[in-house]
Amino acid sequence: MDEPVLLTGAGGHVGRTVLNGLREEYDWRLMFHSQPAHEPEFPYWTGEVENHADVRPAMEDVNAVIHLAGDPRPDAPWESVLSNNIDGTHTVYECAVEAGVDKMVFASSNHAVGAAETDERTPEMYRAHDDFRLEGDEFPRPGNRYGISKATGEVIGRFFHDEYDISVCNIRIGNLNEDHPPIDYERGQAMWLSPRDCAQIHARALEADYDFEIVYGISDNDRKYYSLERAREVLGYDPQDNSAEWDGAERIDGTAEAVNVD
């Protein structure tokens, strides 16, 4: 527990998972889009992430930011992702460098490379025997306008790193599913990210030293087409879960339960 960490998009799915898993680990500052139903346990702000005046106060004295805020819908219309995700991410970076933040962890998405799942490669690429891997250093290949906005957020981060020397880790988050991996959905099983692995990769991204990174945020699934090499090597990410250890909603060995998000 050192200097404060700001979590934007604290009310969203990934935000709740990160906070649930790392509640005791950091001195959190939270930013919500609108007033949360329950009073948060940590200092918090509400506002539009693309508005400098809404974001800037939340950055004061902050050492690192986990930026999750934005329109999370894969089918979000262009106007929304242009404003909430592209302009919003630019505003968050501008406020961060003004405030002297050292490190930005940006929630990118599998959708930034969704169109790499071509007709020729699928469904084979979703299967354990297939060795096709995306490493993360390729030119982006978004599968929808939401994916365009996430790839652009990565490019914005690349610029802010090079120009202002802020450390940037982009996590292309897979399929965060509570309780168990997606059922009867090969693609979702290949990119499953368990709640505890989600919390861990964000913690490692807050702790590790790096310049600019793009990593994949998935569990250590037998099925996978995202490489975990950079996340392991640079962040020290050590995923604990694997969608192959599940049969539908049940763990094959009957042991641990996936961690629920409250």
Residues that bind its own copies (CB under 8 A): 78, 82, 86-87, 90, 115, 137-145, 147-148, 151-152, 154-156, 158-159, 162-163, 214
Smallest separation, CB 108 to its own copies (Å): 12
- Please check whether residue 172 is in contact with residue 112, taking contact to mean a CB–CB distance below 8 angstroms: yes
b/e per residue, 67-79, with b = 16+ CB within 10 A?
bbbbbbeeebeee
Nearer to its own copies, 82 or 259 (CB): 82
194 annotated to bind ligand? no
Q: Minimum CB separation from its own copies for residue 88, in Å?
A: 11
Residues 234 and 228: beta-carbon distance below 8 Å = no
Catalytic residue among 146, 216, 225, 226: 146
Smallest gap from residue 37 Cβ to its own copies (A): 33
Q: Which is nearer to its own copies, 23 or 73 (CB)?
A: 73
Q: Which is nearer to its own copies, 117 or 197 (CB)?
A: 117
- Report how far residue 159's alpha carbon sits from residue 90's, in angstroms, rounded to the nearest whole number: 10
Residue 84 annotated as lining a ligand binding site: yes
The DSSP letter of residue 221 is: -
Assign residue 181 a region (left: φ > 0; alpha: ψ between -120 and 50; beta: otherwise).
beta
* 109 annotated as belonging to a binding site for a ligand: yes
Is 221 labelled as part of a ligand binding site?
no
- Asked if residues 90 and 130 have their Cβ atoms less than 8 Å apart, the reply is no
- Comparing CA positions, the residue from 8, 16, 81 lying closest to residue 49 is 8
- State the nearest-atom distance from the C-beta of 244 to its own copies, in Å: 29
Using the minimum distance from each CB to its own copies, give the nearer residue, 152 or 175.
152
Distance CA 99, CA 135 (A): 32
Longest pairwise C-alpha distance within the chain: 51
Q: Identify whether 146 is a catalytic site residue.
A: yes
Known binding-site residue numbers for NAD(+):
84, 109, 146, 150
Known binding-site residue numbers:
84, 109, 146, 150
Give the catalytic positions in this structure.
146
